[in-house]
Chain A
Amino acid sequence: MRADLQLAVAQLDARPGALAANAAAVRAAAVAARADVLLTPELSLTGYDVRDRAAALALPLALGSTPGAPFEALHDAPGLVIAGAIEAGPETVPYNVAMGVAGASIRHLHRKIYLPTYGMFDEARWFGSGGKLEPWSLPGGWRAGVLVCEDFWHPGLVYVLASAGIDVLLVLAAAPGRGVWEGGAHGDFASADAWEGIACTTARLYGIYVALANRVGVEGAVTFAGGSLIVSPEGVVLARAPALEPATIRATLEPNALARARRPAFHGRDDDPRLVARELLRHHG
């Protein structure tokens, strides 16, 4: 039997390379939020556009270990804190990861799978790609899927997590703001509307909560859009952060809301992952 879950989403700025200061900001957000789970943006501990400093900023982040020296501030942060970091993988490959820390211990890791390397993005030049999707166990019996930014634009990944029985999808993002001339429905950036559309559709399709932590601040020419969200399993925005400014939003996730969203339409119950797997294999070998 699941209990209610207090979820907070902190959209923070992060200074590139300032690991200890960024960790202190994440801790401060966790202390202020006093939630069961605090979600922060992609690379919230390192900054986004670190380029070839990625290798130097990477740290060994083994499950069950204590986060190392620059991240000491996280040791006594309350609840489960989900932050973005760079993991020093085997053979010195750095990975862009989401890291779940509770009680001074690294409980979960997700390596970003899809590294955008087009247009303004150059991530595959600096990072290795992850290749696994594992639901995370959250306090109160909740199961979460965790994705990093571009991962969320690949519906196959959400499908895998949803078919594994997640209740909430947590997305860490560092999405640049675009479409300033046009503006968005709820803020300065038209690009934020696309994220919100995907979040609401995903939540409704799978009957899951969706939370998006998008960062704010400026790195070089790029302004990160903010506009973080928590969306109900019925696809309704429960909380929305403003554009441009640091902010924390929160919501109480209720088990009954999952049931309410899934009961009237049984497409989730009727979905057949084996059929999907079979057909994928048939088409892609």
Chain B
Amino acid sequence: MAEADLRHERVGRVVGGVLRQAVADADAPGLVILEDATPEGALARDWAERALGEARVWPAGSGGAGLVAHPANKTVLLLAPVHAPLLPLGDLYASQVEALAGAWSAPPDVAALAEAAGGIAMLDGALQRWLERGQGPEPAFRLLGTALAARLEALLARNRAARWRPGLVPKLGARTLGVDLFE
């Protein structure tokens, strides 16, 4: 199996395990996945169905009464408010979602920021230097240029309160929203 496929399986196993336990702990009939037409939604749905079975995973508006999961990626959760009990892809940056699913999505202001940065990899690189490697904003965002770094800092500041109490994010890395103290 190719490394990309192995990674897809590996990450999906861990995310799926957290979803399965969350549903069991809540004694819920299954999982409702919001925005399942996005690349993130399709990924979350695939992993949820593997963990719970197809019959226990529903799209929004289908009448299913399960736990609600929003498939927002980590880039989005850092920069824009998203409120849902479960955030299955919340420890995967948009560029990692792209590596797994071939595409990514974000609200317009975050997507515009990525475009101005020269691509999602550039934006995620800056965020990872700040969050995962613990650099200060100045060295972490320097490559983006002064004006863009200021926009990024403003978005991060605006969303700080939302980051303090996110929904349940399956822990995959070293700095997970809602699990690790990093700010």
Contacts and interface: CB of A to CB of B under 8 A. Distances in A.
9 contacts: A119-B174, A176-B171, A178-B174, A183-B7, A218-B20, A220-B168, A221-B170, A221-B179, A222-B171
A103 interface: no
| Prevailing SS type, chain A contact patch | loop
Interface of A: 118-120, 176-181, 183, 188, 217-223, 244
A120 B171 contact: yes
Given A178-B174, A223-B14, 10 more contacts: A119-B181, A178-B173, A180-B14, A180-B173, A183-B6, A188-B14, A217-B21, A220-B179, A221-B169, A223-B17
Interface residues of B, number: 24
A181 B179 contact: no
Nearest to B92: A181
Q: Which of B6, B168, B172, B174 has the most CB of A within 10 A?
A: B172
Contacts of B13: 188, 244
A216 to B, nearest CB: 9
Nearest to B87: A221
A191 to B, nearest CB: 9
Interface of B: 6-7, 10-11, 13-14, 17-18, 20-21, 92, 96, 168-174, 176, 178-181
Contacts of B169: 221
A181 B174 contact: no
B14 A222 contact: no
B10 A188 contact: yes
Contact of A221 (B6, B7, B11, B178): B178
B10 A178 contact: no
Contact of A181 (B17, B96, B168, B178): B96
A120 B6 contact: no
Given A183-B6, A223-B170, A120 B179 contact: yes
Contacts of A220: 168, 179
A181 B92 CA distance: 9
A181 B172 contact: yes
A210 to B, nearest CB: 25
A221 B165 CA distance: 13
Contacts of A219: 21
Contacts of A221: 18, 168-171, 176, 178-179
Contacts of B7: 181, 183
Given A180-B11, A183-B7, A244-B13, A120 B176 contact: yes
A179 B178 contact: no
